[in-house]
């Protein structure tokens, strides 16, 4: 009797405050799962007022290559909260990902992806898995700056910034503190990318010292991903850069049961966007079998973000109850464990029936009122001394003998610059390259000041002027080589700020 009373009391809890949310129905299964999610939100008394925005395929096809209409930006800026179903982005060609555009244009720097097991109701080999992946959301290879530089070589720029690293790493530690988590693991590949991933790792180590109560550790991303797949129960909060985070969060969701179940929050200073981690699943679109749980869990995170924590707990507990009762969509369904295979809308209706109930076996959701409020201090820039010490000149050359181009460039006497080495795909091929090294039509020629390599504890380079680089480029052009780009070589506060060639 008491239980029924409590159930009724929770079921009747509603929010009096109207929250206007920009809602995008998306592509593929998007409209099906959004419809189910909005129905649950409405039944829960969350008092969410959706304002529909048009994004995705329909907008692209209408000739708007940004994938989002002007009015939609206005709705987003007015409401500051977006609930978005997945959208389709073509692979390898066509328009740019609107997801990435939204995240970057709106400054949504943190992508928070909690994944946990629902054993024994959803099949997983890891009954105690409970991990939150905090993925940097604006930088890295997802800057999407790509060029074909020669016939054989294309390039994608990996951009990592100190303010970006500081924001995401601090967010991860603040998240761990707020949600009572014990450990933050940083995943990088700084044994190879010493500058970019190295910066992420350095910032992680710096900021970790400010949170002595939280354990911190670092892993190289390859072994880290393998260990996450093999022993996810050993992880608590993981912080990583954009691409690695994208990959490991799908791995985590899949091994927890289904990629269709995890939600995510994209959080910025003023605006936040909530979405499932999965895509538009064109293979099952229109079949009414999609699991709405990923988007629903994102909506729960949204409710926490706007301070409607009671309603968030109510929906989450109804969801856990439905899963516990064995009412599952096809991706969750398992013979012997599930009671009924449900369509998207049947699952939503069953969940609505369960609003107000608490799960009996699974741990009930009990998110704290203070959750969802993480603010990150403004970045304070520490000025460093930046000295130009050389340039890498990239040349498009069809020849195959490194000595030929090397000797031609070595004869150039351009002010105080001299050729130090040439690499091809990062491997030193001049002087003293190996005949086995495969060479493409893309040659990186490193020029440094003739006074360079002043001997000391660490090699020191001599300062040069940019005019010397301009003169050098002109000389290279005059002897018939095609310059495709240059990268300046700098020292910051006396430290070399460029990578050495493999074998340099």
Site residues for ligand NAD, window 71-130 (CB under 6 A)?
A: 86-89, 99
Site string for ligand NAD, 230-259 (x = CB under 6 A): -----------------------------x
Of the residues 24, 40, 203, 281, which one makes contact with ligand NAD according to CB under 6 A: 281
Of 276-284, 335-343, 370-378, 422-430, the segment contacting ligand NAD by CB under 6 A is 276-284
- Check if the beta carbon of residue 260 is closer than 8 Å to that of residue 271: no
Site residues for ligand NAD, window 129-188 (CB under 6 A)?
A: none
The token pair at 470 is 């301009």
Going edge to edge, which strands form the sheet with 427-430?
A: 427-430, 417-424, 442-449, 386-396, 482-492, 495-496
Least distance between ligand NAD and beta carbon 250 (Å): 8
Nearest one of 382, 317, 332, 376 to 134, comparing CA atoms: 376
Which residue's CB is nearer to ligand NAD, number 281 or number 417? 281
Helix (H) or strand (E) holding 488: strand 482-492
| Maximum alpha-carbon separation in the chain | 94
* Strand-strand pairing, 340-342 and 386-396: unpaired
By CB under 6 A, residue 278 contacts ligand NAD: yes
By CB under 6 A, residue 322 contacts ligand NAD: no
Between CA 309 and CA 321, with CA 315 as vertex, the angle to 5 degrees is 130
Of the residues 2, 283, 467, 478, which one makes contact with ligand NAD according to CB under 6 A: 283
What CA dihedral angle connects 230, 236, 242 and 246, to 10 degrees?
50
By CB under 6 A, residue 421 contacts ligand NAD: no
Of the residues 196, 291, 414, 423, which one makes contact with ligand NAD according to CB under 6 A: 291
Of 177-185, 210-218, 275-283, 431-439, the segment contacting ligand NAD by CB under 6 A is 275-283
Of the residues 37, 124, 161, 280, which one makes contact with ligand NAD according to CB under 6 A: 280
Site residues for ligand NAD, window 294-313 (CB under 6 A)?
A: 294
Q: What are phi and psi of 136, to 5 degrees?
A: -65, 140
Which residue's CB is nearer to ligand NAD, number 137 or number 414? 137
Grouping H, G, I as helix, E, B as strand and the rest as coil, residue 252 is: helix
**Which residue is closest to ligand NAD by CB?**
279
Instruction: Quickly list DSSP for 357-384.
Output: ---SSSPPP---TTTT----PPP-----
Contact residues toward ligand NAD (CB under 6 A) are 29, 33, 86-89, 99, 259-260, 275, 278-284, 290-291, 294, 331
């Amino acid at each position: 009797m008491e239980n029924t009373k409590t159930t009724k009391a929770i079921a009747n809890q509603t929010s009096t405050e109207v929250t206007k949310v920009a809602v995008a129905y998306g592509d593929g299964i998007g409209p099906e799962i959004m419809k189910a999610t909005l129905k649950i939100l409405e039944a829960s008394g969350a008092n969410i007022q959706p304002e529909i925005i048009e994004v995705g395929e329909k907008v692209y096809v209408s000739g708007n290559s940004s994938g989002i209409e002007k009015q939609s930006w206005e709705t987003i800026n007015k409401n500051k909260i977006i609930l978005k179903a997945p959208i389709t982005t073509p692979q390898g060609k066509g328009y740019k990902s609107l997801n990435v555009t939204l995240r970057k244009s709106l400054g949504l720097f943190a992508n928070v992806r909690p994944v946990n097991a629902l054993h024994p109701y959803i099949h997983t080999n890891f009954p105690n898995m409970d991990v939150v992946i905090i993925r940097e959301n604006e930088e890295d290879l997802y800057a999407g700056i790509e060029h074909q530089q020669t016939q054989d070589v294309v390039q994608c720029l990996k951009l990592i910034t100190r303010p970006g690293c500081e924001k995401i790493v601090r967010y991860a530690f603040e998240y761990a503190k707020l949600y009572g988590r014990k450990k933050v693991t940083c995943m990088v590949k700084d044994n190879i990318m010493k500058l970019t991933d190295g910066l992420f790792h350095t910032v992680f180590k710096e900021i970790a010292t400010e949170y002595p109560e939280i354990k911190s550790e670092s892993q190289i991303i390859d072994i880290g991903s393998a260990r996450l797949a093999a022993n996810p129960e050993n992880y608590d909060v993981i912080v990583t850069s954009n691409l690695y985070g994208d990959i490991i969060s799908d791995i985590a969701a899949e091994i927890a049961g289904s990629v269709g179940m995890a939600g995510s929050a994209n959080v910025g200073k003023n605006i936040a966007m909530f979405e499932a981690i999965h895509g538009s699943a064109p293979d099952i679109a229109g079949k009414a079998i999609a699991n709405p749980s990923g988007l629903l869990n994102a909506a729960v995170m949204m409710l926490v973000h706007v301070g409607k924590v009671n309603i968030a707990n109510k929906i989450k507990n109804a969801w856990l109850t439905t899963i516990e009762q064995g009412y599952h969509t096809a991706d969750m369904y398992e013979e012997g464990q599930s009671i009924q295979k449900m369509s998207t809308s049947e699952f939503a209706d069953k969940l609505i029936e369960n609003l107000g109930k608490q799960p009996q076996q699974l741990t009930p959701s009990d998110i704290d009122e203070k959750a969802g409020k993480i603010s990150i201090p403004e970045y304070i820039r520490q000025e460093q001394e930046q000295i130009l010490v050389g340039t890498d000149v990239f040349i498009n050359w069809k020849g195959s003998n490194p000595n030929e181009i090397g000797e031609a460039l070595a004869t150039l006497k351009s002010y105080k610059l001299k050729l130090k080495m040439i690499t091809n795909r990062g491997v030193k091929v001049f002087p003293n390259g190996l005949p086995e090294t495969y060479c493409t039509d893309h040659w990186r020629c490193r020029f440094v000041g003739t006074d360079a390599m002043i001997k000391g504890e660490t090699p020191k380079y001599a300062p040069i002027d940019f005019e010397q680089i301009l003169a050098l480029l002109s000389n290279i052009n005059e002897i018939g080589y095609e310059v495709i780009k240059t990268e300046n070589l700098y020292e910051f506060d006396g430290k070399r700020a460029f990578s050495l060639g493999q074998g340099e």
